[in-house]
Structure 1
Amino acid sequence: MSHKFGFSGIANFGAHVPNIRAINYRFGFIGVGNMGGALARAASRSTKQIIVCDHDAAKASALAQRIGCEFADSRTVVAESEYVFLGVKPQMMAEMLGEIKKELEKHKDVILVTMAAGLSIKTIRKMAGGDYKVIRIMPNLAVEVGKGEILYTTSENVSKNEIGKFLNLMKHAGHLTGMEEEEMDAGCSVSGCGPAFVYKFVRGMAQGGVDAGLDEETALALAIQTVRGAAKMLESNDAPLDKMIENVCSPGGSTIEGVKKLDEAKMEEAVRDAVAAAYQRNIELGKTE
């Protein structure tokens, strides 16, 4: 099934947009699924100058109402936004950019923000048909609660001022880390995919608590707080991880017995394999050139 971005159920507001761009919005979002929607909600804590669109017009309208912004079609987003987030899956990026190519040609100063795993800046430009300004980001869903990790890199023609403005507007999403583009796929395999790995670990801890006699709600609450506290300890302590583990494991105590089981199950090796598999998939997603 082919999706048309931004034209479902709403008028084509972009039909009479003049060549001289009137920037009415800081951020425009094309596609507001799980990640696009989370980023829009995070950005709305910094600015209300946001416009959104989606192939599901009802979804875009509901989000706009929730965060106090506007919704329209993809052409309007390109015509009137300073930064345009391309919130579609990698497999759908070429089609979506093809649909807005004429608007991009009219407004070559637009800054495209891509969050598609595996797609390089070079690939995005090729799909868009020009050497546009591109900010490539790899966020995770914790941006929803202001605790996300957003990896970013930019094309050579994005100015320091444009980068600074972007970072300032996204500050309520969480922590932003600049890196070289060749590091992005690896970084995403850790921070972008990592929340799912953590959730599986938390579920295992909670289920262990239930097996030991706790009710589900209590077991889950204890597991969540334990992960929260452990992460805070890691942030505030420069000790090596081996030392941190040792500090919790009293000789002959209960913790060390549990750690032995994790070692027998090769838990760390399994997590490394999970990151490696995610990284390999990122590489595969990028094989479009």
Structure 2
Amino acid sequence: MKKIAFIGAGNMGGALVLGVCKAIDPQQVVIFDLNTERTEFLRNKTGCTVAQSAHDACAQAEYIVLAVKPQQLRNVQALLVPAMKEAKEKGIKQKILSIAAGITLESLAEIPLQYGLDLPVFRMLPNTPSEIGEGLNIYAENSLATDEMCTELENMFAQCGLTERVTEHILDVASAVSGCTPAFAYMFIDALADGAVRCGVPRDKAIKYAAQAVKGAAAMVLETGRHPDALKDAVCSPGGSTIVGVATLEDAAFRSAAANAVFYANEKNLDLGK
């Protein structure tokens, strides 16, 4: 028996595989994806096992991670029912974990339940920095999942970054800020680098300096516990260059653009579950 199976090993699923294989024995991790180049890459990098089919992966693992698109999830679940039945006959007490945005715990439990499989179900909304251990992985669970299961799940994903248990309501409304923010941050870093290049800084150094500055600012928020506005004010000397730059961003509606990006991304996530 394997500890955990990943059905899907794309950008997000693969990032989680890389993190989980640092937390537990890679031989306890089995993966399946139609993209065999991707699965071979992950096998060579981590030492995990590659299954020949989704059925084979699912039938031998305790935790089943459904790392597929929301639009594909229900079909994939239906295809895996025979494998879940097989696992039950073997005495494997399976748990389901989905990383698809917008699909509720109730909906995730529905298809297995139609076939007599009443299983503990988890929803997790990770982000791609999990690949390097700097991810944010918030999750919620249904009533069949115990505290012990949650602790075990957190231990398996510990090397992916911050893994935090929340209510399903918080999971839904926080999905955009947790999952989409890396893309927004990459855009911001790229824009800062463009500005530095315009001022004469070489491109490679501009990207490195902008990324480090953003990383340092994020660390200040997390480690000091101070409000971002207070930290911003501490950098802005009266009549100085920083406050001029801040005013320029305010003139361009920077705050509202960022807030709206999160709001409308979240609206899209909710639509995916309908």
Interval of TM-score (by shorter of Structure 1 and Structure 2): over 0.9
How much has 1:238 moved relative to structure 2? 3.3
SS at match of 1:85: strand
How much has 1:59 moved relative to structure 2? 2.4
Aligned to 1:101: 81
Aligned to 2:243: 256
Unaligned runs of 5+ in 1: 1-23
How much has 1:63 moved relative to structure 2? 1.6
What is the percentage of aligned positions where both structures have the same residue? 32
* Mapped contact 2:221–2:227 kept (Cα < 8 A): no
Unaligned runs of 5+ in 2: none
Q: How does 1:64-103 map to 2 (within 5 A)?
A: 64-72=43-51, 73-103=53-83
Q: Deviations over 1:136-168 (max 9, x none)?
A: 100010100001000011111112222211111
Q: How does 1:161-200 map to 2 (within 5 A)?
A: 161-200=148-187
Q: Are the structure 2 counterparts of residues 221 and 61 from structure 1 closer, same or farther at C-alpha, using a change threshold of 3 Å?
A: closer
Aligned to 1:16: none
CA distance in 2, matches of 1:228, 1:66: 26
Q: Deviations over 1:264-286 (max 9, x none)?
A: 01101000000001110011001
Q: How does 1:99-248 map to 2 (within 5 A)?
A: 99-108=79-88, 109-128=93-112, 129=114, 130-248=117-235
CA distance in 2, matches of 1:135, 1:53: 20
* Mapped contact 2:2–2:62 kept (Cα < 8 A): yes
CA distance in 1, matches of 2:198, 2:46: 41
CA distance in 2, matches of 1:96, 1:139: 20
Aligned length: 264
* Mapped contact 1:81–1:110 kept (Cα < 8 A): yes
**Structure (1 or 2) with the greater helix fraction:** 2
Calculate the aligned-residue CA RMSD, in Å.
Answer: 1.3
CA distance in 1, matches of 2:168, 2:141: 8
Aligned to 1:13: none
Q: Deviations over 1:169-195 (max 9, x none)?
A: 111111011111112121111111111
Answer with 72-81 or 116-125: which moved more.
Answer: 72-81
SS at match of 1:206: helix
Answer with 180-189 or 207-216: which moved more.
Answer: 180-189
CA distance in 2, matches of 1:243, 1:56: 47
Aligned to 1:21: none
* Mapped contact 1:152–1:176 kept (Cα < 8 A): yes
Q: Are the structure 2 counterparts of residues 238 and 98 from structure 1 closer, same or farther at C-alpha, using a change threshold of 3 Å?
A: closer
Aligned to 1:35: 12
